[in-house]
Structure 1
Amino acid sequence: MTDDANPAHTDGPGPEAPQPSGVDLARVALRAAKEQARARGEATRQQQQARRGGLRSGARRGGRDPLPLGAALERLKAERGWEMPMAVGGVMGRWAHIVGEKNAEHCHPERYDEDTRVLTVRCDSTAWATELRRLAPQLVRRLNDDVGQGAVVLIKVLGPGGPTSRYGPLRAR
């Protein structure tokens, strides 16, 4: 027998790559069809959301899902830019810890002006007001370390408030 009669033995290039069978072709076609259907579905879903104004309810998480209270407050604080006022409000709640128990007995914060970043503190005697004015630079530094740099620029210390004369013969409306 000659080599020409034996098809397994050839002097040409190596064996050819096997042709995909019917099952392999079916898998490739199925995968392509699924990808096309998914792309069409996404396009249709986006069109429907655009028609409805983007609001959609379903089983997946979305922006309309209920949130835990802490997460909702954090989100609201970030959206509205309330970080600084809330931080200063926290300072008013921790006033005794920041200035010390003895000072907190005689001095209390009254208000915080966000525009000028001035914290107004009222003391129950002029002696305590003088003492707090002396400590004001240290308190500003401590408050800024606690809340954030630049949150408080100045502490305005007020003495005891006298009675207001709203009534009487010399009062004009």
Structure 2
Amino acid sequence: MAREALAQARADAAKRGSVPGQGRRKGPRAPRVPQPGRGGDPKPFGSAIRELMSARGWEQRAAVGGVFGNWPGIVGPELAEHTRPEKFEDGELTVAADSTTWATQLRLLSSTLVKRLNEELGHNTVRRVKVVGPAGPRRTGAWRVR
């Protein structure tokens, strides 16, 4: 019974043009059509990531994330020690300062900071820098004016 099944399988294969155990049949191959996003040569990682970010519209978010990560490189180490970016929404960067003195200093530098950030991120990405001072209550001393 097994021999009959094997003989039948060989006969069916011969009709199709392939005989078991003899490998693939020689002849012209159909050209291989690459599927989008598959196959081909490997791409450099940076190029592949840029294409992905562009396709998904993530360039601006990634650039803003780079500002948050490189804050000392953008504003300088002394200012970065006393300030930190908190959020970016609708062209407005909110920056927190650890004292009212540093908040005032950052407010005076805000137009320069907007120019510097737009150089980094692209034209008109940042329209305004909002500076917030320390969140804690003010310390009251013995000397104050009423």
Alignment TM-score > 0.5, same fold: yes
Is 2:78 the partner of 1:122? no
The amino acid that maps onto 1:70 is: G
What secondary structure is seen at the aligned counterpart in 2 of 1:90?
helix
Number of equivalences: 107
The equivalences for 1:68-83 within 5 A come to 68-83=44-59
What secondary structure is seen at the aligned counterpart in 1 of 2:96?
strand
Q: Which residue of 1 aligns with 2:8?
A: none
Is 2:128 the partner of 1:154? yes
The Cα shift of 1:67 comes to 4.5
Query: 1:99-157, CA deviations, whole angstroms, 9 ceiling, x for partnerless residues?
Result: 111100000001111xx211110000011001000000000011111211111000110
Query: 1:39-71, CA deviations, whole angstroms, 9 ceiling, x for partnerless residues?
Result: xx67xx8xxx8xxxxx75xxxxx5213654323
Alpha-carbon distance in structure 1 between the residues aligned to 2:48 and 2:73: 28
Q: Which runs of 5+ in 2 are unaligned?
A: 1-29, 138-146
The equivalences for 1:8-157 within 5 A come to 56=35, 63-65=37-39, 67-113=43-89, 116-157=90-131
What secondary structure is seen at the aligned counterpart in 2 of 1:149?
coil
Alpha-carbon distance in structure 2 between the residues aligned to 1:120 and 1:64: 42
Alpha-carbon distance in structure 1 between the residues aligned to 2:51 and 2:119: 24
Alpha-carbon distance in structure 1 between the residues aligned to 2:37 and 2:134: 50
More moved, 68-77 vs 140-149 = 68-77
The amino acid that maps onto 1:89 is: G
When normalised by structure 2's length, the TM-score is: 0.65
When normalised by structure 1's length, the TM-score is: 0.55
The amino acid that maps onto 1:105 is: E
Alpha-carbon distance in structure 1 between the residues aligned to 2:100 and 2:88: 21
More moved, 84-93 vs 101-110 = 84-93
Q: Which runs of 5+ in 1 are unaligned?
A: 1-40, 50-54, 57-61, 164-173
**Aligned-pair identity (%):** 49
Alpha-carbon distance in structure 2 between the residues aligned to 1:72 and 1:111: 28
RMSD, aligned α-carbons = 2.3
